[in-house]
Amino acid sequence: MELAGWGRTPRASVRAARPERLAEVLAAIGAADGRGIIAHGAGRSYGDQALNDGGQVLLTGRLDRLLAFEPESGVLECEPGVSVGEVLRLFLPRGFALPVVPGTAFTTLGGAVANDVHGKNHDRAGSLGDHVEWLDLALASGEVVRASPETEPELFRATIGGCGLTGVITRLALRMQPAASRRVVAREERMANLDAFFAAFEAARGAAEFSVGWIDALERGGASGRGILEIGRFDPESGGDPPAGSRLPGVPFDFPSLALHPLCVRLFNRYHLQRLDEAGRERVVPLERFLFPLDAIHDWNRVYGRRGFHQFQCVIPDVAARAGIGALLARVSRSGAASFLAVLKTLGSTGRGHLSFALRGYTLALDFPHRRGIAALFAELESIVRDHGGRVYLAKDSLLSAAGFAAMYPELGSFREILHRVDPEGRFQSDMARRLEIRGAGS
């Protein structure tokens, strides 16, 4: 079958197994040929991370059972194909929430761990991996091993954010937290430029529960970095009553490429940013709508048409963040490569995994429709990130170079040592692993 990531490019032709129980997981791993096998959850990583062209993928969606929940500790034990949204749907009414969620509720927990995802509260809560108690991992040998910070700590660190290359997660346990409320008070403020954004983020970092910035990446010069800062806190008033449900719209067809003409994008961005008056606004929204604004539009990736799109997300350490983000925005606006609103957030601390994305700094995410010349633009953005000591997020990536990757992830050597130990023959493979030479050159 043909598979693609959320960006719909690149595409891969794979043989897919869809196990429903452990024995079938082990059989699929055992049946992998020289081209290898990789776990594939909800397909929400953007690029080629969960693809394996000419090889096998192991779809984890049917491994979606919950195994245990202890209300005292908040620890939930489950299979890897359970989605973030399913956990929230079942546990918010019981007063528990995941401490960290990515920007979509459709991701599986296995995939979220394999990318050590972050949310809009990283300064407070860290990455998802920080809340994982243990993982059961089916290794290349067919053995299932439990890895935690206490037992198999190295395997644990390699698997958190490890892009599925250490094995297939067959069970995991993570610690949920009591949900303060099911609604969020969201305050939006207009930001005139990037300096204003940085000043506001510095103030928000220590104080706010959630914070996220939306930037019009087409603005240049003095208006560069213009946008909206959204600060959220749990609404203490609303207690535990469930927010009214709403039917979600979808994108029923692929948009024509005209929709991505810079003029259209400019109009959309202008409209989106200027609907807000000078004083800003404050409103109470259901937690899910605040956390997953784009989930309200099913298949929003179709907006980019058949050709698909690439997302570029990087983090720049605090010291170089203003200069680095400024340089990236300047380069992007000069390219005129139409991008809808860019997202700016702060991250609080370094992740637990060898290949974890997070470090203390500012993270910027931008979408670009797939077109000729996109690789050259990404190469330039990559070098700006490198020059400022930052790194590119593998969950979103489809175009990073192997040299850039090695320079950005200093613990790659340790990661390779673990792979060498648990998977010497390279049974777990992906298009991303080959492109970035994650296992080493020529393997």
Partner 1 sequence: MSGETWLVLGASSAIARAFAREVAARGDRVVLAGRDEADLQITARDLVVRHQAEAAVLAFDALAFDSHQDLLSEVMAYRQGPLSIFLAFAEMVEQAQLGANFAAERRMLEATYLGAVSILSHLAPLLEAAGAGRVVVLGSVAGDRGRPKNYSYGSAKAGLHAYTQGLRARLWRCGVSVTTIKPGFIDTSMTWGLPGLFLVASPEACARACLRHALNGAAVRYVPGFWWLIMGIIKLAPEAIFKRLNI
* Residue numbers at the binding site for partner 1 (CB under 8 A): 16, 18, 20-23, 62, 65-69, 76, 79, 90
* Residues near 415 by beta carbon (within 8 Å), at least 6 away in sequence: 158, 162, 354, 355, 409, 438
Chain-centre distance for alpha carbon 26: 27
As measured in angstroms, the least distance from the Cβ of 78 to partner 1 is 8
Tell me how far apart the alpha carbons of residues 160 and 162 are, in angstroms, rounded to a whole number: 5
**Closest to partner 1 by CB, 88 or 337:** 88
As measured in angstroms, the least distance from the Cβ of 294 to partner 1 is 23
For the beta carbon of residue 65, count every other beta carbon within 10 angstroms. Answer: 13
**Closest to partner 1 by CB, 18 or 146:** 18
Tell me how far apart the alpha carbons of residues 116 and 421 are, in angstroms, rounded to a whole number: 22
Residue 320 and residue 185 in contact, taking contact as beta carbons nearer than 8 Å: no
Residue 390 and residue 314 in contact, taking contact as beta carbons nearer than 8 Å: yes
As measured in angstroms, the least distance from the Cβ of 69 to partner 1 is 5
- What's the token pair of residue 37? 């096998």
* Residues near 144 by beta carbon (within 8 Å), at least 6 away in sequence: 22, 26, 136, 137, 138, 170
Residue 343 and residue 213 in contact, taking contact as beta carbons nearer than 8 Å: yes
As measured in angstroms, the least distance from the Cβ of 66 to partner 1 is 4
Closest alpha carbon to 179 in 213, 212, 209, 135: 209
**Closest to partner 1 by CB, 80 or 324:** 80
Q: Give, in degrees to the nearest 5, the angle at Cα 167 between 164 and 169.
A: 80
**Closest to partner 1 by CB, 81 or 213:** 81
- Count of all residues that appear for the chain in the document: 443
- What's the token pair of residue 375? 């690789």
As measured in angstroms, the least distance from the Cβ of 249 to partner 1 is 21
As measured in angstroms, the least distance from the Cβ of 56 to partner 1 is 12
**Closest to partner 1 by CB, 133 or 318:** 133
Q: End-to-end alpha-carbon separation of the chain, Å?
A: 25
**Closest to partner 1 by CB, 65 or 420:** 65
**Closest to partner 1 by CB, 22 or 180:** 22
Q: Which residues pair with 183 in a beta bridge?
A: 286
As measured in angstroms, the least distance from the Cβ of 94 to partner 1 is 9
Taken in order 398, 402, 408, 412, the sign of the CA dihedral is: positive
**DSSP class of 250:** B
**Closest to partner 1 by CB, 65 or 421:** 65
Residue 160 and residue 381 in contact, taking contact as beta carbons nearer than 8 Å: no
Angle of helix 194-207 versus helix 318-335 axis, rounded to 10 = 140
As measured in angstroms, the least distance from the Cβ of 282 to partner 1 is 36
As measured in angstroms, the least distance from the Cβ of 243 to partner 1 is 21
**Closest to partner 1 by CB, 13 or 443:** 13
- What's the token pair of residue 265? 């994008």
As measured in angstroms, the least distance from the Cβ of 24 to partner 1 is 8
**Closest to partner 1 by CB, 65 or 220:** 65
Closest alpha carbon to 184 in 328, 282, 95: 282
